[in-house]
Structure 1
């Protein structure tokens, strides 16, 4: 589950990245607003966390540009602007949620889970699909009623496939969900994780579309 954080405050940005990484997310971090659209064109993210007070461009303008360009992924505004007019502008401008600093980490994570559930078409904090149950609250996984123990990267990969169920995801896209811009991975990382997931869940649960990628069917 890969997120794009747009935040110019160094200490806060580091804290958010560390907290999200600890909870199973892959996070790429920009400290300027202008590169955001290029990042979304070249990479695939599950959601954007967007500050409004950026050094190069106002966050509301970033939001307007993204929606005008047709980007539909969830956007959570995270800002110190607590005026009601700013909230209204943000939400009417296309943001899916608006959270004011300082904020509770628990609330922040809960709001992110809501956005991710919307992407997956679920209203509950547990996603159920073909006998699989994934809790977005505590990263607990069950298959046919039995608990499954996954590594951090196995959980990230499985969550990405489940939230995009019905879509074929290329190896490159899956690689992006596991590793941010500053991380290195071996060429066969995805194949190894898919192999392990099939052993732990079911050999036919994740299907390989030869030459295209992998899919979990709805």
Structure 2
């Protein structure tokens, strides 16, 4: 049926998004201390630098949720219900305005946490609405990204431990950052290859077919 085709395509897109976005964003959260010290150098004070790192780490869940929720609009369009997407976006705009107004007096960290809260609510509401127009629940979406999430989390743990062990070592900050990124990429690649080999082969076949069609 049409719903089955849409659901199958949606799950594949979510898996692909998770495969790419999760390691990048989780990796960014972990190496944020090293990254911003290289990127900003000595231009910022230590206090401002720590605040920037904290804000970047807090906002990583927002980016993850936005990436995973991005295909929602296309799914509503495929079902002929763009009005649902419009209503959800309008509701999120109002919710963000309210939460930011309440949090702004408490500082930038409170605003960032409010953004995380609104993103969680919007993600849940979006998939609740999707469940009403097609047979696809939040559980299926979670299952689709679970292996990538495991690989990315494993990568993050390894990189975080290594970064902690290198604290105080006389290593050029840029070289340290490049080493951490390379280590994280290697761990994620090995874990993903073992857990998602079939899906990676599907992607390779899809790319090959696209090239043949050209």
Normalising by the smaller structure, the TM-score range is under 0.3
Task: Choose 1 or 2 for highest CA Rg.
Answer: 2
TM-score (norm 2): 0.28
Which structure has more helix as a fraction of its residues?
2
Higher relative contact order (CA 8 A, sep 6+): 2
TM-score (norm 1): 0.27
